[in-house]
Amino acid sequence: MKVIGYIIQKEFKQIFRNKGMLPIIFILPILQLVILSNAATYEVNNIKFSYVDHDHTSSSRALIEKFKASTYFNVLTDFPSQAKASSAMLEGEVDVVLEIPNHFERNLIKEKIADLYITVNAIDGAAAGVESGYVNQIVQSYSKEVRMSFMDTSKKVVQPVIIESIPSFWYNPTLDYKTFMVPGILVLLVTMITLFLSAMNIVREKEIGTLEQINVTPIRKSQFIIGKLFPFWVIGMGLLTIGLILAKLIFNTPMIGSLLLLYTYTSIYILMILGMGLLISNFTDTQQQAMFIAWFFVVIFILMSGLFTPIESMPKWAQIVTEFNPIKYFVEIVRMVLLKGSGFMDILPQLWKTLLFAIAMNGLAVWSYKKTN
């Protein structure tokens, strides 16, 4: 224990003696959490909207006013023809063009049906789908108002049966995207910092030549590894604490569940990440190599974690691959505990998988570490 304590103490001194390392470990993650949580969003706002009104009636103007009143659309201008509107979309000046045809109002009154033509810039398919949904909501709302006005003016019209759904939003009643994103961003920061630091730590010893000196000492391999990795485990837990405090103070993120349960899971998760960093360092000779390999795996894990892309929308083979993605489980656990108030039995499947990953990853790392003595 004295040997492990000496190595841990030496490692902490080395970390805190390096003035350039402290901002990287603590200040940059805080800035990233604040910036990314405000910037990363699934919402589509300020949609550049224009229209071509061939009808010029009170009905067409009423429909356009619905779009102007929406908080999602920024109504820029109208165009005299569809050709000019298409040219503006080609130049990137508009995102959505609504074309109201001739006899729009007449068809509504006489035939009770009318067509609208909507053109959406679909280079970004996800954004185009959201924009189309917004347009349909406004058109349906306008259609309902028109139908109700016809009922009031015509006694011959039979009152139809109208079924309305009343949604109830659980866990995020205000539909604030930050409530969803902040826990996920926190997971990424804890993962990236602990992985990069642990991956480069032993490699740095290789570069400066001290690793060979340590290898010929009586220090056991297990003592050396525990002493080298424990400080980064503490740093990871510290980053989680700072992140949770900022999430509550700045973003008012709900914390319904047990923080003790979250810390318990995180302690196992960080052990797994540290084992992965050690495994990377065992097969690299420079810090640049370790950084690139760690970044390679982190990018894949992040994109396939379900943070930015729903796992259910991925191909079947990708969904199978995500079962071996540890970040996926951490993202699920943080959201389950903080937002839903999930208990131990609720997170037990993810906990067992993460524990198995931690045992396997650290076992491979210790086995692959070469010590001459």
pLDDT tens digits, one per residue of 273-295: 999 998 898 888 888 888 889 88
Quick check: pTM over 0.85?
no
**201 in Cβ contact with 228 (< 8 Å):** yes
**pLDDT of amino acid 354:** 94
Confidence of residue 112 (pLDDT cuts 50, 70, 90): confident
Which residue carries 């391999």 as its tokens? 221
Residue pair 72/47 in contact (Cβ under 8 Å)? The answer is yes
pLDDT digits (tens, 9 = 90+) for 11-20: 666 666 666 5
Report the pLDDT value the prediction gives residue 42, as an integer from 0 to 100: 65
Whether residue 214 is predicted with pLDDT greater than 70 in this model: the reply is no
Q: Which domains does the chain have, with CATH numbers?
A: 2-40+180-368 (no CATH), 47-153 (3.40.1710.10)
User: Which residue would you say has higher pLDDT here, 263 or 43?
Assistant: 263
- Condensed to tens digits (0 to 9), the pLDDT of residues 35-57 reads 777 766 666 778 899 999 998 88
Segment 336-341 shows an average pLDDT of: 90
Task: Return the beta strands (E) in the chain as ranges.
Answer: 47-53, 73-78, 96-100, 117-120
Cα(364)–Cα(368) distance, integer angstroms? 6
Share of the chain above pLDDT 90, in %: 19
The percent of residues in the chain predicted with pLDDT above 70, rounded, is 81
Range from 101-115, 168-182, 274-288 that averages highest in pLDDT: 274-288
Q: In the numeric block, which tokens belong to residue 265?
A: 């899971």
Strand segments (E) across 46-180: 47-53, 73-78, 96-100, 117-120
What pLDDT is recorded for position 228?
Answer: 77
